[in-house]
Amino acid sequence: MTSTDLFLTLFNHKNKNLDELKWPGEGTFEVVLGAILVQNTNWKNVEKALTNLKNAGKDSLNGICSLENSELATLIKPSGFYNTKAKRLKTLCLAIKNEFESFENFKENASREWLISVKGVGAETCDAILAYACGKPYMVVDAYALRIMAYFDYIFESYDEAAEWFSSLDYDEIYKILDSEKFDEVEILKLYHALILEFCKENFKGKILSQNGQKILSSIKN
């Protein structure tokens, strides 16, 4: 099985249209907030925290930087682990402001090497920000992606090894079903991540794959 095989199988069995698979707030500062807040929680809790930040007028780079950690922790409390997340978010935002001055400049010029060096930013969070906030070609490998691969008995030694496997797509094959003018490498990798998320939410219960899920993947299971 190749990564392209998996992509095409998931694409051919998707139940949502392409617009429904987009990440909320793509290209905006909200992605940075969400990437930190979603750690160890679900998106509904993140939305509550984001609403608190918006209502307080603090859902911007300067807004976060102006808050004391305790104030920020109170606003993001619905996301859980709020003291830790407040520290991580404040550290990241101050680093962005000090290095790039503005979010727009960060979007254009941030590198993976720089971002992953910021305390509290792991590989998955880093790649989510680069892909969905900055529009750079990085594949986000989350627990759902690894769950699918575990079903195929694929074990990766590191996050980077997994990301390399998922990113090794045959674009000539993919462009047989997608418009190359609408889907560049960045958009395809984001779509891939979304297809994995949709499939796992619909077909996995814990680590157990449903019969429907097994049927979908049977054509590419060696």
Domain boundary among 132, 167, 199: 132
pLDDT at 15: 84
Task: Quote the pLDDT of residue 25.
Answer: 87
- The three-state secondary structure class of 205 is strand
Give 218's DSSP letter: G
Q: What is the pLDDT of residues 113-131, one digit of tens each?
A: 999 999 999 999 999 999 9
Rounded to 10 degrees, the C-alpha dihedral 157/162/165/167 comes to: -150
Same domain, 74 and 38: yes
172-219: pLDDT as tens digits: 999 999 998 989 999 999 999 999 999 999 999 988 999 999 999 999
- The separation between the first and the last C-alpha atoms of the chain, rounded to the nearest angstrom, is 7
Q: Are residues 13 and 36 in the same domain?
A: no
Task: Work out whether the CA dihedral 42, 48, 51, 53 comes out positive or negative.
Answer: negative
- For position 19, what pLDDT does the model report? 79
- What is the pLDDT, as a whole number, of residue 20? 82
In contact, 73 and 83? CB cutoff 8 Å: yes
Tell me which residue has tokens 């990437």. 35
* pLDDT score for 102: 98
Same domain? 126 vs 33? yes
CA distances from 142 to 21, 70, 160 (A): 16, 29, 12
Q: Where does the pLDDT of residue 24 fall: very low under 50, low under 70, confident under 90, or very high at 90 and above? A: confident
Cα gap 170→12, rounded to integer Å: 16
Does position 222 have pLDDT exceeding 80, yes or no? no
Are 197 and 127 in a shared domain?
no
The whole-angstrom separation of Cα 64 and Cα 93 is 7
> pLDDT band at 18, cuts 50/70/90?
confident
Q: Which of 75, 106, 132 is the last residue of a domain?
A: 132
Same domain, 53 and 105: yes
pLDDT at 104 over 90: yes
Residues 34 and 124 reside in one and the same domain: yes
- β pairing state of 204-205 and 208-209: antiparallel
Do 95 and 62 reside in the same domain of the chain?
A: yes
Number of domains in the chain: 2
Say yes or no: 63 and 118 in one domain: yes
* Percent of the chain scoring above 90 in pLDDT: 92
Q: Domain end: 87, 113, 132, which one?
A: 132
pLDDT attached to residue 61: 98
Same domain, 146 and 75: no
Residues 125 and 197 in one domain: no
Give the domain extent around 123: 29-132
Q: What is the pLDDT of residue 82?
A: 98
Q: Give the CATH number for residue 36.
A: 1.10.340.30
* Global model pTM greater than 0.85: yes
- Here the tokens at position 184 are 């560049």
Verify that 164 and 106 share a domain, yes or no.
Answer: no
Same domain as 149, residue 93: no
| Rounded Cα–Cα distance for residues 120 and 128 (Å) | 14
